[in-house]
Amino acid sequence: MIKRLLNNYSKKTVISILFLAILAILAFLTPVLFSFDPNSIDLSSLGEPEAPSLRHLFGTDDLGRDILLRCIYGARISLLVGIVSVSISITIGVLLGVITGYLGGLYDEIFMRIVDIFMAIPTLFLILTIQIILEPNIFNVMAVIGITSWMGVCRLVRAEVLSIKERTFVTALKARSLNPITILLKHILPHTLNPVIVAAMLGMGNAILVESVLSFLGLGVQPPHASWGNMLENSLAFMRDAPWMALIPGTFITLTVLALNFIGDDIRSIFDPKGRKNIC
């Protein structure tokens, strides 16, 4: 699989990987290597955002805090939310999808109707409802996004398992009276990983967007901690006089989500048995 990825890629995927790698390095190493405080307030600039300059490349906000530095620290939040929440949703979705797909019959029908009910509920509305009940913090954000986004992965894995379990090699394994758990884990599960990887990449982009929306609404990361979402919320009062306050974090969100979607789309095309004809 790794060899196929190395031999088949598009330019946009290479650029996306480089962008995400640089962003991750800056986000996680800056707090370790440097003692910058993203929440440091400049009393001389209160209420007067400073435009981009050599001193502050992306300008400052209304409290004199450097926007570039806060965006870098905010990247930690977004990347962690994407990784952790997707890990939760993938774990739940793969586990339930493999079990229901392999068992089939009445168990599959009942569980799929339950999944349909969950999918009929608007995800963002469900997340907002849960977040209003819970205490707004980053840990709850990651858990809630993960727990409310497993249904698509479950249906995807179930469909793969329904197809795989009818193949000759699975029938032969059953004829040898192997433990069903062994058949699932060693022989069926590995064949479902390709679409799961694609779903994980696309899910990370969606998780970052949801976290930004929650923080923008005051239900995610709480000030003064930096988050792209709450930075956008803070910029509303200064859209005319200091547009960079909204432009910079908005650009980070857009580029990050686009990079993840480009990578996911490229991986999907690589795993497509018809080849790479859809990759530009």
Helix (H, G, I), strand (E, B) or coil at 183: helix
CA nearest neighbour of 157 among 123, 183, 188: 188
pLDDT of residue 9: 63
Q: What is the mean pLDDT of the chain?
A: 83
In this prediction the pTM is 0.83
Q: What would the pLDDT profile of 128-152 be if each residue is shown by its tens digit? A: 888 778 777 788 888 888 988 899 8
Joined together, the tokens standing for residue 250 give: 């908005």
How far, in Å, are 56, 95, 112 from residue 204 at the CA level? 30, 19, 24
Give the span between the Cα atoms of 260 and 27, in whole angstroms. Answer: 17
Q: Judge whether 20 and 259 are in contact, CB under 8 Å.
A: yes
How much is the average pLDDT of 149-173? 85
Q: Give the Cβ contact number of residue 4 at 10 Å.
A: 13
Q: What would the pLDDT profile of 54-111 be if each residue is shown by its tens digit? A: 888 888 888 888 888 899 988 998 899 999 999 999 999 999 988 888 887 888 888 8
CB under 8 A, 24+ apart: contacts of 131-136: 131/214, 131/219, 131/220, 132/219, 136/214, 136/218, 136/219, 136/220, 136/222
Task: Write the CATH number of the domain with boundaries 80-222+232-273.
Answer: 1.10.3720.10
pLDDT of residue 8: 60
* DSSP one-letter code for 168: H
pLDDT band at 258 (very low <50, low <70, confident <90, very high): very high
* DSSP one-letter code for 68: H
pLDDT band at 275 (very low <50, low <70, confident <90, very high): very low
Joined together, the tokens standing for residue 260 give: 């993840």
Where do the structural domains in the chain lie, given as residue ranges?
80-222+232-273
Q: What would the pLDDT profile of 30-52 be if each residue is shown by its tens digit? A: 877 776 777 777 766 676 788 88
